[in-house]
Structure formats: structure tokens, C-alpha cells
């Protein structure tokens, strides 16, 4: 099997979104390093988050619950895989809790663009079918909204 054939299926399993954020890369990166910061922008409007565990280090866990305005709750279980300040963060997102068999590998890349930062989220699903299912539930829109919330947080002076 050629290298091209080995990597081609990953493109069938991914969703990639980007956004320019008005602010330096370090400031954007720092929005991830503290659970208080994350709680201000991570959740959708009208929601709040309760954190049980937060360890921002490779192998560390962020175990929390998102509480939506209508009363519904969603597990938010993340294992940080790679942290390369201030340019890259990689995590496994277990959307249905720590035993979710359909975890999504997520990579945030931050590139300096003068006084701005280009933030790119790359979500890699276990299969094309999982990606397609997530796309039905607007995964790309949700990822874009996350970057928009991050930008509003950074640009608003935190």
C-alpha cells in the first residue's frame, strides 16, 4: 500500500474548520490552559459547564458536564494528548462520556498571521460513517461556533 493510499481514508473521516482571530497566538492558546477561561467560551450560548476534573497536560483529563438552557445535560470528557505551546493542542473528545467508543481526535493548530492568529480545528473520526453521522448533526457548524466563541472571548479582552 502506498503512503497516499494509507493517508487518503483520513480525509474521508475528517472535518476541518478555520478562523482568523484578532489577537496574538499566545493569548489564544492561553484560553485553553485554565478551566475558568474554558468555561467562559467553550459552551454554547445559554449553557454552563460543571467541571469535575481538569488537568491541562498530556495524558490529563477534563471531565465535565455541559448544562443546556432547556435542562438537558451532555458529558464533556477530554483527554489531552499533545500540548505544544503556543502552536498546537491535540485531544481525544469522548462526546458521550469516557467510555464512548466513537471518540474524536481533535487538533487545534494556531498560526501567527501578523497581529492575528489563524485557528484551525481538525476533527478526525473513527470512520467515514461516523464523520457522516456527525455531519448530519452539524459538526462543522458546531466546530465553527467553537472558534467563533473563542474569538469573541479573546477579542473581547477576556
Cis before 86 (ω within 30): yes
pLDDT grade for 157, boundaries at 50, 70 and 90: low
Q: What is the pLDDT of residues 6-53, one digit of tens each?
A: 443 478 999 999 999 999 999 999 999 989 999 889 887 788 999 999
Q: What is the pLDDT of residues 86-104, one digit of tens each?
A: 999 999 999 878 888 889 9
Q: Rounded mean pLDDT of the chain?
A: 89
Q: Is 85 in contact with 91 (CB distance < 8 Å)?
A: no
Three-class SS of residue 105? strand
Q: Mean pLDDT, to the nearest integer, of 64-79?
A: 91
Instruction: Please state, in angstroms and rounded to a whole number, the distance separating the CA atoms of residues 64 and 50.
Output: 5
CB neighbourhood size of 30 (10 A): 16
CATH code, residues 15-155: 3.30.530.20
Q: What is the pLDDT of residues 101-123, one digit of tens each?
A: 889 999 999 999 999 999 999 99
Q: Mean pLDDT, to the nearest integer, of 134-156?
A: 89
pLDDT grade for 3, boundaries at 50, 70 and 90: very low
Q: What is the dihedral of CA 142, 43, 28, 58, to 10 degrees?
A: -90
- Say what the pTM is: 0.88
Instruction: Please state, in angstroms and rounded to a whole number, the distance separating the CA atoms of residues 83 and 85.
Output: 6
**CA within 13 Å, CB half, 148:** 8
Q: Is 60 in contact with 80 (CB distance < 8 Å)?
A: yes
Residue 137 is predicted with a pLDDT of: 82
Residue 2 is predicted with a pLDDT of: 35
Instruction: Please state, in angstroms and rounded to a whole number, the distance separating the CA atoms of residues 16 and 105.
Output: 12
Q: What would the grid cell of residue 139 be?
A: 459538526
Q: What is the dihedral of CA 147, 151, 153, 157, to 10 degrees?
A: 160
Amino acid at each position: 500500500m502506498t503512503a497516499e493510499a494509507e493517508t487518503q481514508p483520513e480525509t474521508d473521516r475528517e472535518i476541518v474548520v478555520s478562523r482568523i482571530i484578532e489577537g496574538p497566538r499566545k493569548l489564544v492558546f492561553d484560553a485553553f490552559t485554565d478551566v475558568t477561561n474554558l468555561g467562559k467560551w467553550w459552551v454554547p450560548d445559554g449553557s454552563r459547564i460543571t467541571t469535575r476534573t481538569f488537568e491541562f497536560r498530556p495524558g490529563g483529563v477534563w471531565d465535565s458536564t455541559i448544562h443546556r438552557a432547556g435542562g438537558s445535560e451532555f458529558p464533556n470528557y477530554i483527554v489531552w494528548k499533545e500540548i505544544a505551546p503556543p502552536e498546537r493542542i491535540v485531544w481525544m473528545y469522548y462526546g458521550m462520556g469516557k467510555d464512548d467508543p466513537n471518540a474524536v481526535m481533535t487538533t487545534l493548530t494556531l498560526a501567527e498571521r501578523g497581529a492575528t492568529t489563524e485557528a484551525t480545528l481538525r476533527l478526525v473520526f473513527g470512520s467515514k460513517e461516523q464523520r457522516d453521522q456527525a455531519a448530519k448533526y452539524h459538526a462543522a457548524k458546531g466546530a465553527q461556533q467553537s472558534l467563533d466563541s473563542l474569538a469573541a472571548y479573546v477579542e473581547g479582552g477576556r
